[in-house]
Amino acid sequence: HDSRKEMAQDVQTFYRELPKVELHAHLNGSVSSATVEKLVASKPHLNIHQNMTAIRGGQRRTLDECFQVFKVIHQLVDSEEDVMMVAKDVIQEFAADGVKYLELRSTPREDGKTGLTKRSYVQTILEAINQCKEDGLDIDVRFLVAVDRRNGPEVAMETVKMAEDFMLSSDGAVVGLDLSGDPTVGHGKDLLLALQKAKNAGLKLALHMSEVPSQNEESELLLSLPPDRIGHGTFLHPEVGGADSLVEKVRKNNIPLELCLTSNVKGQTVPSYDKHHFLYWYQLGHPCVICTDDKGVFCTDLSQEYQLAASTFGLSNEAVWTLSQRAIACSFAPQDIKNQLEQKWTKLRPQILH
């Protein structure tokens, strides 16, 4: 029996109907089991089974094991036609879950066998975004080009140049740059130049930061940019070994945090939901955005994450609504789109918040 379906039914209608903003979603980690089934069927020679691509209810994995799961998914998604299907499915699933604005992120990938290039990889995702728009889906989708820290400074610089090109040619679809990848590999100082270049070009920066302990020095460096948003920030605050100076910088620059509860608990960087750092920042009144990170791998969706936050920290529907609406301001959307989203929330409020 599929615990995922059970959970989906358990999520109260309020959270499903709640209009939502998703700002931290890795494309390949967001691939649902239904899409994985289609991919597996089209590549029987790979011998990949469902259980290799998802971390189900109650399961925990080390961060390293989580990255192994992504490697499996990358094997399944190796051509333009795969990328197209995956991107469209993911966008449709977010829309079905009540997400009205979505920022997807992904590292440009190439594959010699299929002729996929880094540029065509991004182009295909942008084409999928366009097709969903033409299909009239009620969701505005933007894209962040991701720099994988494992690949070092040269590749980072190439990726930034490509992101700049797309920012200028994608009609507003490419809005920023993500720094991600295995946090235990490499050092942020080697990527600082590339990140600075991206910032100077007008790309917004969403940086994974302090995902694992004892990265205070790197976090100080990255915060000096400063980034426009922080991914996770699990170990920034002093209660878990961070430094007061880090918290001060984050607060002084009012940098929103993208917080992913299930991902952190299943990936074991946070011991339990009630110990999640959401509470620390939320109580400070700091901008916090609830996100999924990898809804496919961690078997969740944004409605479920909101309900988890609400039940764990005792948030009223009113508080949840405010949390959702405040995410609009944290997005990298142009101001006119932000205004339209604010209007949408205002209009939906009396129908949903009884």
Report the catalytic residues: 211
Among candidate residues 83, 159, 161, 90, the one with its CA nearest the CA of residue 125: 83
What are the C-alpha distances in Å from 254 to residues 223, 226, 228, 330?
11, 10, 9, 10
Q: Please tell me the distance from the alpha carbon of residue 29 to that of residue 299, in angstroms, as a whole number.
A: 10
CA distance linking residue 50 with residue 345, whole number of Å:
37
DSSP designation for 181? S
Q: Which of 110, 105, 103 is CA-nearest to residue 80?
A: 110
What are the backbone angles phi and psi of residue 191, rounded to the nearest 5°?
-105, 0
Q: Where are the alpha helices (DSSP H) in 30-151?
A: 33-42, 63-76, 80-96, 118-134
- What distance in Å separates the CA atoms of residue 124 and residue 117, rounded to the nearest whole number? 10
